[in-house]
Chains A and B, each alone.
Chain A
Amino acid sequence: MEKINADVVIIGAGLAGSLCAHALAGQGIKVLLLESGPSVDRAEAVERFNASPSKRPNSPYPVSEHAPQPDGGDWNGYYVQTGPDVFHGTYLRVVGGTTWHWGGFVQRFRENDFRMRTAYGVALDWPISYGDLVPWYERAERELGVSGNSVVQFGGTRRNPYPMSEIPATYSDRVVAKAISPLGLNLGTFPQARNSEVYDDRPPCCGSASCVPICPTGAKYDASVHARKAVERGAQLVTNAVAHRLIADNDGNIRAVRFLRPDRSEGEATGKIFILSAHAIESAKLLLLSADEKNPNGIANGSDQVGRNLMTQIDFDSRFLTAEPVYPHRGPVLTSGILEMRDGAFRGKHSAIGTSFGNFGWARARGPLLASQALAAKGLRGKELEQQLTDRTTRELLISSTAETLPNAENRITLDPVLHDSLGLARPRVSYRIDDYARAGLAVARERHEKVIASLGGTEITHDKELSTSTFIIAGTARMGSDPKTSVVDSELRSHQHPNLFVVGSSAFPTVTASQPSMTISALSLRAAASIAKQLGVHS
């Protein structure tokens, strides 16, 4: 059996795991970073993107039979969906994780996001406050390299400027901003983990417009940066190693993690501390797979909360043609969002809403190509086709609103008893219902869409017929809390039951908000790494 030993064993080389690896290796701690999938070559990923018919988020990335992941081509291909609503959360099992195809938006959560029960009487409070996380947000912003507008606050209150100046709004957003101002709505540019200057040996953004699913230049941050830097600091990165079982000692400490290679040979990694950072689905799955005599419901699951409280955001999109050209497909995929409705007293009744304007037409990377097919089918050719193609595609705009959801113990992942992957591991069985809280919020959002569309002289309007679970947000399956009966990890992300096991990432979120999770994941990861170093007796 392959055997590896380290002080800290990190399972999952995505954003959370790679930041922890880098932070800990930098303090002289011996770190093993175990990743189920392979590394990614950027140039090859761009070629795969070019060759992909669908250009879906996962399309540029290597598909590993031994490390399957959900994909938009077949929502039942990996997940076993039990409904009632289809769960669309995707992630990548590669070094760098899902940050390879994220949009790069890194707003901090707001103060009230951490205290929903106290402030609005819904959901629950986190066991930490915004103030607790501020120093870690600041450090995470420097680590990732965040560009932002330090005057217009998008997210929690700041005390320092962003490391880099903002990514400027697209021309499209500027047209929108002018049109919606009389409605009392204001656009603000998002803080982004995307360079506005040379930073950390990566170039500034050159507006490739393919951020989702691939940045061809590395201007957009992805966590392979910190995986590489962790290795440069002495961490050991082992790829194509699928963790399938955590082994606990009689005293409750985790002794080892067993992993499988693609050829089904087994290995074992031992350590003093274990960090589980495999994203919300795989982390919960591993805890459940690790059930033993002493932990019949799975490792760290004395509360029966592992896999439960699965949260996502709910999306509602509207597409229309603007009266005047807005010229999409130029610049990052999004640059601005409406500032209003992301927090407020209304959250006692309905969700917060994040509304933004896609800079990718109606159909993203394939949009102009599909539009040309449609025009050709009508018999248009040559100059006539090109004039109409230009006229239409310059005016395509998509408004997207995203609603937060409330934690619900019945929204969960479990292990499917029958269906397994190629390594013989149970596939994740997903149960999900979109809640009335999000539906009510998106009903308000739809009214706002209609006003915005009218302000832009919109025609050929289509609204999503149904609400959809987000492709990009998955959280809650190993949530943090003060009470071991209702949570899986404590405020430092340490398992209540296993003192040397930490669960890092969005799985630890008690609530999901309407904001992007990655900056909060990053801050929590760095904070957890500091706790781990202290637990090992290492003081930075």
Chain B
Amino acid sequence: MKSYLSQFPHVQLTRRAFLVRSAIAVASLSLPLSAMAMSISSKGEDIFPAADFRELCAALAGGRVPALAEAEAYLAALQSLGMEKDLNELLKLVRSTPSGALDAAIKSAGLDTATNTIVAMVYSGMTGTGKNIRVITYTDALAWSALPYTKPNGRCGGEFGYWSQPPA
């Protein structure tokens, strides 16, 4: 069945291959995400490091982390919401609290809403609401990697007919 693939190099039969990624190139038609991060830094404000944001995501998203470019874009969105302080406090909690006690600590610190916002953002790959929704990433939204049975729409799921059987 795979013999036709040499004829169609654009067909990538990667049921879960989108999980394997090195540097993630953000789609050219998305927001100029790096530019957004840069524009904020040019104001002279302290920037929450993207590496720290990824550390935060790992704690809140079951070990999953967005790629660096996406982390920068999420950060820019969160900073535009004025969540710099919340990010710093959350990071302190994450570093000082055992994982089993983290949820209670977040609640106790009054950081539920901020945490929910971050979690929603990184799992959905989107920021904003209503007409202000922006897509940071579709294919690398963490929700897709969290679902063991499927992949983002628009990506091949496997060889012809795979869908007639339940996922392995």
* Residues of A participating in the B interface, judged by any CB pair closer than 8 Å: 43-44, 46-53, 55, 168-171, 174, 196-198, 201-210, 214, 216-217, 325, 327-332, 335, 359-360, 364-365, 368-373, 376-377, 379-383, 385-386, 389-390, 393-394
Contacts and interface: CB of A to CB of B under 8 A. Distances in A.
Task: Enumerate the 9 nearest inter-chain pairs by beta-carbon distance, A residue then B residue, closest first.
Answer: A331-B163, A382-B62, A206-B156, A376-B120, A372-B123, A210-B153, A207-B157, A376-B119, A369-B124
B149 A390 contact: yes
A397 to B, nearest CB: 15
Interface stretch (B34-42, B45-53, B70-78, B138-146): B138-146
Contacts of A386: 62, 146-147
Contacts of A50: 27, 29-30, 135, 137-139, 154
A53 B146 contact: no
Contacts of A335: 163
B85 interface: no
6 contacts: A47-B27, A168-B164, A207-B156, A368-B150, A377-B116, A379-B116
Interface of B: 4, 7-8, 10-11, 13, 27-30, 60-63, 103, 112, 115-117, 119-120, 123-126, 133-135, 137-139, 141-144, 146-151, 153-167
Among A201, A325, A368, max chain B CB count under 10 A is at A368
B135 A52 contact: yes
A210 B154 contact: yes
B1 to A, nearest CB: 8
B29 A376 contact: no
Contact of A51 (B11, B29, B147, B165): B29
Contacts of A171: 163-166
Contact of B164 (A170, A328, A376, A379): A170
Given A47-B28, A47-B29, A386-B146, A203 B157 contact: no
Contacts of A205: 160
A174 B156 contact: no
A216 B158 CA distance: 14
Nearest to A377: B116
Given A53-B134, A206-B156, A390-B149, 10 more contacts: A51-B27, A198-B4, A209-B157, A216-B10, A217-B10, A365-B138, A365-B154, A369-B138, A377-B120, A386-B146
A21 to B, nearest CB: 26
Contact of B153 (A365, A373, A390, A393): A365
A365 B143 CA distance: 12
Contacts of A377: 116, 120
A359 B153 CA distance: 11
Nearest to A365: B153
B62 A207 contact: no
Interface of B: prevailing SS:
loop
Nearest to A333: B153
Contacts of A49: 138, 154
Nearest to A175: B166
A357 to B, nearest CB: 13
B11 A203 contact: yes
A327 B150 contact: yes
A376 B160 contact: no
A208 B154 contact: yes
Given A51-B27, A51-B135, A208 B149 contact: no
Contacts of A52: 135
B123 A207 contact: no
A327 B167 contact: yes
A515 to B, nearest CB: 23
Contacts of A368: 143-144, 147, 150
Contacts of B147: 368, 386, 389-390, 393
Given A168-B164, A210-B154, A372-B143, A204 B4 contact: yes
Nearest to A203: B8
Contact of A385 (B63, B123, B133): B123
A330 B162 contact: yes
A217 B10 CA distance: 7
Contact of A330 (B103, B139, B163): B163
Contacts of A373: 120, 123-124, 126
B116 A216 contact: no
B139 A369 contact: no
Nearest to A393: B147
Contacts of B166: 171, 325, 327
Given A47-B29, A53-B134, A381-B103, A369 B167 contact: no
B154 A46 contact: yes
Contacts of B125: 369
Given A50-B135, A209-B153, A376 B7 contact: no
A160 to B, nearest CB: 23
A163 to B, nearest CB: 16
A329 B164 CA distance: 12
B30 A51 contact: yes
A376 B134 CA distance: 18
A204 B153 CA distance: 17
Contacts of B162: 207, 330-331
B119 A385 contact: yes
Contacts of B144: 368
